Chains A and B, each alone.
Chain A
Amino acid sequence: MTERLAIDLREVMIQCFIRAVQDNVNLVVLVSDSTSTAKITPFQQMYPDRLINVGIAEQNLVGVAAGLSLGGYVAVTANAACFLVARANEQVKNDVCYSDMNVKLVGLNAGVSYGPLASTHHAIDDISIMRGLGNIIILAPSDPVETERIFNFALRHVGPVYIRMDNAKFPVLHSKDYQFELGKVDVLTCGDDISIFAIGSVVHEAYAAAQTLKADSINAEVINVSSIRPVDKKAISDSIQKTKNVITVEEHSLHGGLASLICEIIAEEGLDARIVRLGITQGHFAKAGPRGRIRAFYEIDKNGILENARKLLKKG
């Protein structure tokens, strides 16, 4: 395979902001001293009046965004996920979700994007926290194409949306015809032997693992659950019924995120399946260090997924 061009998903996001304004979306972007985190400069240069920096004050970031939405703006907050979901949790809950404001919350550099900066900067609980709240859509793009589609959707949707973002460059996984559909899963490869569910940037690891498994004559179905709420229960359930072997992969705690979501569906539907959950051990903070090492430790990299898939299928 030829080397594919890798793009920082945040740069794609910023282009979506610019195009939205050009498209007459009454957008305002708020940062909390997180201009570099959000790579916002191109937007700032074009629309300085549409960027608001509240300083290092995350509670105020979210509250002010809610107020701007009351004033008729589509308000987008862009700061590190760890500070958004933890520090401003009550503002997210009350000012945005409960009050049903037209605010889009972007959790930048989620998961263990900040690897060596350790647990203050990791966000391995953002999905579980957001899933605990009412009235918010939860999305996680995996590649540049999906990032563009998801932001184009979110910036034109009225109501609260959380978007989980990564801080690295990723190649394109989707064709340029890919259409994001709210509440639908994205099946990247079809297969009968095992269902691999993944979210966000580890979708690339799952996809790479599936390519290698194919050489072993194992057909993996890789499903990108980019729409976490609403979720496509039927497609997930159909895949599990077909393969009866499941692996979930997430750069997130095993509690409350993708693994929990899939287990809920298996339990509710009474599906006959074996499941291996890969993610950050429940009840633990993640190890700190180079991101690749962290992923290898929790077996959420290509090799980890591969080994677990082989082990799981050998049991049968």
Chain B
Amino acid sequence: MSNEFQLSPDEIVKKAKEIRKKIIKMNSYAGQGHTGADLSETDILASLFFRVLNIQKNNLNDPNRDRLILSKGHGIGGFYCTLAEAGYIDESLLLDYLQFDSALPGHPVRQKTPCIELNTGALGHGLSVGVGLALSGKMAKRTFRTYVLTGDGELQEGSIWEAAMSAAHFKLDNLIVIVDRNTLQLADRTETIMALEPLEDKWKAFGFDVQVTDGNDVTKFIDTIERLDMCNGRPHVVIARTIKGKGVSFIEDRAAWHHKIPFGDQITQAIEELE
């Protein structure tokens, strides 16, 4: 089994653009959404779904397929748009985002949407569950990898570090944590609210194999993931430096756009910038 697309980095960049346009349109239509987070993670999700993850639409029940946990559950908008671009859900479903009893609620619900492993939204949960999944893989001698995409503000949760400690203790080299390091959280810069740096040192001290890359550069990101030594007896963390709101000038790197949506002329401008 392998990824059904296996796109080149150039082709993934094009897919990421299409996903970003979907995000702008979907959030504007819904009248709500975590636009900043959705755009921050887009290149990471596009790389995962169009190349990295060993998953196929007709094989989601295979116990050996890769798993991805969206620990930053508020990034679900970007996740839905990626699923739509990759054909896991129908694009028309995006119009239902955030509606009453919707198929696409504002945080992940595994009973409703394919490719969702865990109902996240409360921060700091995904890594523990990822540890359990990766551990199950080791115990049952399965070959799948477990990916956990976290936000950076989320790393302020103590449960993340309980999980990190156990990931190294259990020698889970089949676990890959990706930190969407956009340096912004809800209210302000992470370093102003509660400093995370030196972040590499923290993960290293917890026993992780630490890689730092550009999370908005598809080529660099994929290269980092594909070069991981998956037999080194240590869990991996890829600190992916990103820009929150990436791709739209007036949204980029602004805390105010954490939970804001474009309206009127902003929609046109955003789409133009993404063309």
Q: Which residues of A contact B (CB under 8 A)?
A: 28, 49, 52, 54-55, 57, 59-60, 62-73, 75, 90-91, 94-95, 98-100
Q: Which residues of A contact B165 (CB under 8 A)?
A: 55, 57, 60
Which of B131, B136, B139 meets A49, CB within 8 Å?
A: B139
Partner of A70, one of B125, B133, B158, B169: B133
Which of B111-119, B189-197, B204-212, B258-266 faces chain A? B111-119
A94–B119 CB distance below 8 A: yes
| Residues of chain A with a CB closer than 8 A to B162's CB | 54, 57, 59-60
5 smallest beta-carbon distances between A and B, as pairs: A67-B132, A71-B136, A63-B128, A64-B132, A60-B162
Q: How large is the interface on B (under 10, 10 to 19, 20 to 34, 35 or more residues)?
A: 20 to 34
Least CB distance from B268 to A in Å reads 38
**How far, in whole Å, are A72 and B136 apart by their CA atoms in the complex?**
8
The reply to whether A63 and B132 contact each other, CB–CB distance below 8 Å, is: yes
Which chain A residues border B159 with CB–CB below 8 Å? 59-60, 63, 91
For residue B134, CB closer than 8 A to chain A, the reply is yes
Q: How far is the CA of A69 from the CA of B140 in the complex (A)?
A: 12
A73 to B110, CA, bound (A): 18
- Type the 1/0 row for B132-146, where 1 means its CB is closer than 8 Å to any CB of A: 111111011010000
What is the bound-complex CA distance between A63 and B117, given in angstroms?
12
Asked whether A91 and B128 contact (CB < 8 A) given A60-B163, A68-B135, the answer is yes
Partner of A99, one of B110, B127, B163: B110
Q: Does B121 contact A (CB under 8 A)?
A: yes
B67 on interface, CB distance cutoff 8 Å: yes
Which A residues are CB-close (under 8 A) to B142?
A: 71
A65–B118 Cα distance when bound, in Å, is: 12
With A and B bound together, what is the CA distance between A96 and B127 in angstroms? Answer: 14
Are the CB atoms of B140 and A64 closer together than 8 Å?
no
A112 CB to closest chain B CB (Å) equals 28
Chain B residues in 8 Å Cβ range of A52: 135
Cα separation A69 to B139 with both chains bound (whole Å): 12
Q: How far is the CA of A99 from the CA of B129 in the complex (A)?
A: 11
CA distance A86 to B175 in the complex (A): 28
A57 touches B129 (CB 8 A): no
The minimal Cβ–Cβ distance linking A255 to chain B, given in whole angstroms, is 25
26 interchain pairs (CB within 8 A)? A28-B139, A54-B166, A57-B166, A59-B128, A59-B159, A60-B159, A60-B162, A60-B163, A60-B165, A63-B132, A63-B159, A64-B166, A67-B134, A68-B133, A70-B118, A70-B132, A71-B132, A71-B137, A72-B136, A73-B136, A90-B122, A94-B119, A94-B120, A95-B119, A99-B110, A99-B118
Q: Whole-angstrom distance between the alpha carbons of A72 and B118 in the complex?
A: 14
A267 to chain B minimum Cβ distance, whole angstroms, is 30
Contact indicator B135/A71 (Cβ below 8 Å): yes
Q: Specify the chain B residue showing the minimal Cβ separation from A68.
A: B132
CA distance A247 to B97 in the complex (A): 50
Looking at the complex, which one of A59, A60, A71 makes contact with B140 (CB distance below 8 Å)? A71
Cβ distance A45 to chain B, nearest Cβ, rounded Å: 18
Residues of A within 8 A of B31 (CB): none
Contacts of B169 on A, CB cut-off 8 Å?
55
Contacts of B124 in A (CB 8 A): 59
Chain B residue nearest to A57 in the complex (CB): B162
How many Å lie between the Cα of A130 and that of B111 in the bound state?
A: 21
Most buried by A among B121, B159, B165: B159
Q: Which of A63, A65, A69, A90 contacts B163 (CB 8 A)?
A: A63
